Every structure is written in structure tokens, then in C-alpha cells.
Structure 1
Amino acid sequence: MEYKSWMCLICGWVYDEVEGAPDDDIAPGTLWEDIPMNWMCPECGARKEDFEMIQI
């Protein structure tokens, strides 16, 4: 499986599927599609649809 990264278009915060977001109760290895729709960017509060997949 290939993990991806997603960047907030508002503030530039990056969600990495490998790392997850443990501070926000999202375990490492959690795929983007498995994050709840009501989740928000921990930096700026942007909605999930304000993120875009990026290639690193």
C-alpha cells in the first residue's frame, strides 16, 4: 500500500497518512478516506474538503 500526504490549502499544514495525527486521536497509518468528514485542520480549523493530496 502506498501512503499519501494531504496539505491544508488554507494554512499549509500537512497530514501524512504514515504519521497520522496522534494529538487529534488519529492513529498512524489512518488513510485520508477513513478520517471523519467533520474532522478539522488542527492548525487553522479548515474543513477536510480544504485539503489537497500532495506528492512528496
Structure 2
Amino acid sequence: MCLICGWIYDEGTGDPDHGIAPGTMWRDLPVNWACPECGARKEDFEMVQI
């Protein structure tokens, strides 16, 4: 979950609008990937249980 805006990355959905295929694990996201809602970096995310 993004600590800036609250957007949640769902590994099952991915981020296809930004080239991240469904099923892409969090650990496999590129280092330069950013939150599609606010542009926050990966280090601005916190793992949450859904």
C-alpha cells in the first residue's frame, strides 16, 4: 500500500497501464516503478495483508 495516497498494488492485477503484467510479484517490480496514482517510489510502500 502506498503510504502517500493509499493505493494498493495487487500482484494478481499488476499495473498493465504501466507495463506491469498481471501476476507480477512485488519483489519483481522494477526499481524505478512508481505509484500510478501519486508517483511515489517503491520505498514509499508498506506491505499489507488483504
Q: Normalised by the size of structure 1, how large is the TM-score? A: 0.85
The alpha-carbon deviation at position 9 of structure 1 amounts to 0.3
In the alignment, structure 1 residue 13 sits paired with structure 2 residue 7: yes
Corresponding residue of 1:44: 38
SS at match of 1:8: coil
Gaps of 5+ in 2: none
Gaps of 5+ in 1: 1-6
Task: Return the letter of the residue paired with 1:22.
Answer: P
**Partner Cα separation in structure 2 for residue 34 and residue 48 of structure 1:** 11
Over the aligned positions, Cα root-mean-square deviation in angstroms equals 0.5
Corresponding residue of 2:24: 30
Corresponding residue of 1:3: none
Task: Return the letter of the residue paired with 1:31.
Answer: M
Q: Normalised by the size of structure 2, how large is the TM-score? A: 0.95
What is the count of residue pairs matched by the alignment?
50
Using the aligned pairs only, state the percent identity.
Answer: 76
